[in-house]
Amino acid sequence: MELHIVCIPGDGIGPEIVAEAKKVLEKVAEKYGHKLDMKDVLMGGASIDAYGVPLTDETVAAAKAADAVLMGSIGGDPNTSPWYQLPPDRRPEAGLLGIRKALNLFANLRPAYLYPELAAACPLKEEISRAGFDMLIMRELTGGLYFGERRTVTENGVRRAVDTLTYDENEIRRIAVKGFEIARKRRGKVSSVDKANVLDSSRLWRAVVNEVAKDYPDVKLEHVLVDNCAMQLVKDPAQFDVILTENMFGDILSDEASMVTGSIGMLSSASLNDTKFGLYEPSHGSAPDIAGKDAANPIATVLSAAMMLRYSFDLDAEADAVEEAVRQVLKDGYRTGDIMSKGCTLVGCRQMGDLLAERI
């Protein structure tokens, strides 16, 4: 199989972690008989430095021509980088918003998995962390409160701000279909999160999700109010498989889920459109303070590449091999600085990539 992948190394530690993910993908291709076509393009601060804008038409065109995009990290230190002296629409993160829109990436997937070897880093009680958890938060990415009409006005000397939360049934249906499809690849359960006891948008959300569920009788559906879901994530995270929710709720819940894993450096993510195409990236930032020091943890990017193999190419065996390589490296006691614990062996970004590739 030919895999046409555009890589966006990005800023900060981005080029380092993408290089290690590419190393692992090359080993996968060698072992399983695939042909890799990987092309690097610029976005974010690196694009500003080269072209004066965070996202060029050429980068968008290259991404659209590929089967998938693998990205590192975007942005720098807002307190020191000259990129943040520019208008908001010219800053690095504007490139990320722009490419999501250009590629119609409406479904954001963020897995949260607690590796047994990292259970000590989990902030939850030992009896909870000992049970482990493996969930995936499916967040609608292009609608809702963040994209609704907004305004700030002054009336009779009083300032008033308005943000509008809107969804139509088509926006809800397409993310729900993605959620049920991915649940079929996992453990067959969808927890749809809303605030249907208060919000009209949530009542529509629940109604449409129920309609979609009829096409997936093999998938169990439950509805969970968002405040209860937030509590359950710290009380019993093992109960969840796929959490399906709208934009703002998903933003908050996915950050909560990331913290109970113990390290954001382990968390992958994917953003999908209505085809097999996706953009895959780690959930963490660009960490400019450690850029170029061979100190970054590439595992989240490597796991993002595994998601790419699974969801854009339907190469489940290859994705399993990458995920198993991560588990084996952790079992063997190798750690980057962010997940280091007593009795383990400290390694740098490049050596971690080598160790992962060796175990494919």
**Catalytic-labelled residue, pool 89, 163, 215, 255:** 255
Asked if 11 is an active-site residue, the reply is: no
Asked if 146 is an active-site residue, the reply is: yes
Asked if 37 is an active-site residue, the reply is: no
Closest CA to 179 of 148, 149, 208, 145: 208
Asked if 113 is an active-site residue, the reply is: no
Cβ-contact 323, 306 below 8 angstroms:
yes
**Catalytic-labelled residue, pool 32, 101, 146, 294:** 146
**Catalytic-labelled residue, pool 37, 49, 89, 227:** 227
Asked if 57 is an active-site residue, the reply is: no
**Catalytic-labelled residue, pool 251, 280, 334, 338:** 251
**Catalytic-labelled residue, pool 113, 194, 195, 338:** 195
Which residues are tagged catalytic?
146, 195, 227, 251, 255
